[in-house]
Amino acid sequence: MKHKVEILPSAWEDLKGIEDYYTVQFDVETALKVSDHILDAIERLENFPDSGSLTPDNWLNEREYRMVICKKHVVIYKTIETSVYVYHIADTQTEYTKLFY
């Protein structure tokens, strides 16, 4: 059964920030490749919403958030009934769990 994936405004802002960073540090082509890779991982959640793993944060896990790692980035999402909600996208080397506090 396919799930509906909804990328919330906070996650779109995160993705825009990632694109901006890669555009400034490298070039537009690199920024688009990184963005496309992240969006591909998110799209896979339509068919495999349980493919993500638990986060390193107990508070998030207790609230049933999960994560998918895309190279240097992590997508934090939650499945509610037949929908997948993407809350944040962050660099794996940041304290991304604090985005929820």
β-strand pairing of 4-7 with 83-91: parallel
pLDDT digits (tens, 9 = 90+) for 27-69: 999 999 999 999 999 999 999 999 999 999 999 999 999 999 9
Q: Assign residue 45 the CATH number of its domain.
A: 3.30.2310.20
How many domains would you assign to the chain?
A: 1
* d(C-alpha 101, C-alpha 97), whole Å: 8
pLDDT classification of 96: cutoffs 50, 70, 90: confident
Dist. CA 63–CA 43, nearest whole Å: 22
Mean pLDDT (the chain) is 95
User: What CA–CA distance (Å, rounded) separates 28 from 82?
Assistant: 35
Domain that holds residue 29: 4-100
